[in-house]
Each structure stands twice: as C-alpha cells, then as structure tokens.
Amino acid sequence: MTTFSAPKGTYDLTPPESETFLAVREAISAPLRRAGYGYIETPGFEHVELFSRGVGESTDIVTKEMYTLTTKGGTELALRPEGTASVLRAALQRNLHRGALPVKLWYSGSYYRYERPQAGRYRHFSQVGAEAMGTEDPALDAELVLLAVDAYRALGLREVRLLLNSLGDQECRPKYRSALQEFLRGLDLDEDTRRRIEINPLRVLDDKREAVQRQLADAPMMRDHLCEACKSYHEQVRDLLTAAGAEFEDDPRLVRGLDYYTRTTFEFVHDGLGSQSAVGGGGRYDGLSEMIGGPPLPSVGWALGVDRTVLALRAEGIAPEAPARAEVFAVPLGEEARRTLFGVVTELRRAGIAADFAYGGKGMKNAMKSANRSGARFAVIAGERDLEQRTVQLKDLESGGQTEVELDAVVETVRRRLG
C-alpha cells in the first residue's frame, strides 16, 4: 500500500504556518467589514459558460488554466478560477442590484487554475476579494484601493507597491485599440502573439518577454488617448488616493485586456517574490454584467492572493502574532483525577481560558513534558490525595512555584493569576 501525497501544484496548510493564513485572511477582511462590505460565499464550481464569458475567451485562464468537468447528467462545469464572475452572477440571481447601490460584497476562498507550478504559483490557491457593484464614482474606486492598502499596512508589509492605470471606456478605448493594433502588426512577433493582436491587443503590452518589451518602447499608450470623461475620472481617483496618503506609481502598461474592464486598473506588487510578484489586483469592470446577461452595472473590485501575501510576509521577516496557545495544562494522576481534571479543563475553556489535557494516560514524567512543551503558563496537577481534599496543585511553569488551590477555586485563581 503506497501512501498518498497532495496533487501537483497544491500544498497543505498545517500548524503553525496555517495560522499565518488565517491572520492574512483576517487582516484583509477586517477593513472591508468596517467599510460596509457584506460577506458572500458562492459554490466552488459554476457553469463553464459563466467563466468563458465572464473571464473572457481570449484569456489564459479560460483557454489553458480552467479545470472543467462534465457531470453524469451531462452538465459542463468548471472549478472556479476566480471570484468576480461568480459574485456578480450570485448578486444578479438574488436581485441584490435592485436594492440599495452600490452592492458591496467581500469573499474568501479557494480558486483553481491549471498552471505550471512554481514558487508563488499554485493550482489551488486562496484569495480574499471585494466587489462594489452598481455605482460609477471615483470615490468607490479609491475606497477599494485604500482598503487593500490598509490591509497590507495592518499586516506590517512595507514593500508593497501600488501600480495604477486607466484603460479608458467604450468612448475612447476602441480608437486606442485600433491604433495599438496598427502599431503591433508592424512588429516582429511570433504566431501566438500575432493572433493575440487581433483578439486582445492590450494583453500584448503585458508580455513579460524581453524581446517583446524591447519593441514596445514606442507603442501608443492608453494614457495619451483617454477621452475627457475618463481623464477627469482618473484624476479624481488619483487625487483621492493622494489625499489619503496612499503612494502609487502610474504604470501606463498595466492592463487587464478584456473589453469589459474599464477605467481604473491597479495591481499590488511585492519585489521580494521573484517573478510571481503580483500580490493582488483589480479594477473597474463596467461591461461585465452585460457580458453575462445582466443589466448595465458599473462595478469595481479586487482580489488579493493570500498565498503570495504570506510569502511577502516571510520575505519581509514578519511573523504575525502567534495564536493563543494553552494557558493551562492539566496533568491527572490516576483514573479519578482524569475525570475530575477533564471537567476542570472544560470549565476553564468555557470561562475563555485556553486549556489542554494530558491525553493518553501518560505517566507523570511524560505528562509534565507535554505540559512544558505546550507553552502553557500553568499546570494543574491532581492525584488521589489532592482529590480527597478537594484540592489541586497549581504549578507556575515559568517560575516553578507550586501552590495548593481548592478545586472549586481553580478557574478564579487561574484567571486572577493570568491577570
């Protein structure tokens, strides 16, 4: 019988590192909750169509990275590769967009992409995301960016950079797109990239290869083609961010190459992560609702990668505060003591004091070893003689000092001495 290991491109989260993941999820979601974002959870799989339309037929996600399956009933499903399409689908299905706008939602979960696994790039990964739907207002774009900035700040990250751009709208983007296509068609590019020029020319700007980048030096930039409305909208977003003390870099090459992404686009990068430097990204997607069969619903959102944020913390040498370990460890000597101290542990926990127990009928020596290893401040020790007198021994594992305490007073005494 062979043992199993986790599938390629996946990894298990185990203590103590798993605590860092919880801390990251908590740090990202706390600012959102304070800003009125409500929690949404959607299924781990959706109809394939939702993603081919909602993420885009021309994206790597849809063409190469999606895990698809056909159910026994013949339905084509895909494990969710990202969150926005599902959240928008759910909001429309539940008619949330008919209520007060904007609809502000946040989510946290697992996502699946069939990618080439490497450091910071997995086939199963974790994101926390936020979407604000139904309103076009530069303050909403700024709000979301600032909530992400505050999340990174709360985690203590100092080396996250914010890149910002505007992609224009249906007014100015088509003209720019044609100008860009014309420029790109004149370059020396491979077959695949040439095809991309016709379907998704903005994505070519995002090509990481040196040989491609070198030829793009004189490429027309969206920045120089923005219409007045987009220019003014972008200025307002920038002003709000500046007023809030958020530093950003204008990056005219930053794109999300789909037609329904509009105006504000941003990415958070961390330089300590090698080539998988994007820790999060987002932007405005005013056309997406209509792409998946909904009414016009101008929206903005982001998704931050939890795995890469954890790597960023590690790169900066930041260890989030350790979780509460056991404060009290119970060491029973004998069968009756087991029953009594098990009751004490339950009582301590109900009183909000972290407590653990020497399970497995260990002898005194091994049980004390477990107590010391647990990091607990106190050991509660009891044998037959103690129980006859309705007392226990309370041992301070830091100072080594030991005192006798009435059984009924253990919780109170521990509480007082923990301060």
Q: Does 13 bind ligand ATP (CB under 6 A)?
A: no
Nearer to ligand ATP, 160 or 337 (CB): 160
Token couple for 81: 């590769």
Q: Which is nearer to ligand ATP, 82 or 136 (CB)?
A: 82
**Pair 129, 302: CB distance under 8 Å:** yes
Residue 280 touches ligand ATP, criterion: CB under 6 A: yes
Among 45, 51, 125, 248, binds ligand ATP (CB under 6 A): 125
- Residues 6 or more apart whose CB falls under 8 angstroms from that of 199 comprise 57, 58
Helix-helix angle 228-243:138-155, to 10 degrees = 30
Distance of closest approach, residue 192 Cβ to ligand ATP, in angstroms:
17
Q: Which stretch binds ligand ATP (CB under 6 A): 66-74, 165-173, 217-225, 305-313?
A: 305-313
Task: Measure Cα distances from 247 to 148, 159, 160 in Å.
Answer: 12, 12, 10
Q: What's the number of CA atoms in the CB half-sphere (13 Å) around residue 70?
A: 2
Contact between 276 and ligand ATP by CB under 6 A: the answer reads: yes
Site mask for ligand ATP (CB under 6 A), range 49-88, x = bound: ---------------------------------x------
Nearest to 394 by CA among 383, 406, 385, 402: 402
Is residue 122 a contact point for ligand ATP (CB under 6 A)?
yes
Gap between the terminal Cα atoms of the chain: 52
Pick 177 or 203: Cβ nearer ligand ATP: 203
**CA distance linking residue 359 with residue 32, whole number of Å:** 41
Q: Assess contact for 221 and 168: CB atoms under 8 A.
A: no
Give the count of residues interacting with ligand ATP (CB under 6 A).
Answer: 17
DSSP one-letter code for 285: -
307 in contact with ligand ATP (CB under 6 A): yes
**Sequence letter at residue 292:** I
Q: How many residues does the chain have?
A: 419
303 binds ligand ATP (CB under 6 A): yes
Residue of closest CB approach to ligand ATP: 305
Among 89, 113, 238, 377, binds ligand ATP (CB under 6 A): 113
Least Cα distance to 270 among 320, 311, 317, 210 occurs for: 311
281 binds ligand ATP (CB under 6 A): yes
Among the listed residues 341, 332, 340, 413, the one whose alpha carbon sits nearest the alpha carbon of residue 377: 413
Determine if 329 is a binding residue for ligand ATP (CB under 6 A).
Answer: no
Q: Is 133 helix (H, G, I), strand (E, B) or coil?
A: strand
* CB closer to ligand ATP out of 83 and 332: 83
CB of 116 to ligand ATP, least distance (A): 9
234 lies in the site for ligand ATP, by CB under 6 A = no
204 binds ligand ATP, rule: CB under 6 A: no
User: Which of 278, 397, 407, 409 contacts ligand ATP by CB under 6 A?
Assistant: 278
Q: Binding residues for ligand ATP, per CB under 6 A?
A: 82, 113, 115, 120-122, 125, 127, 276, 278-281, 303, 305, 307-308
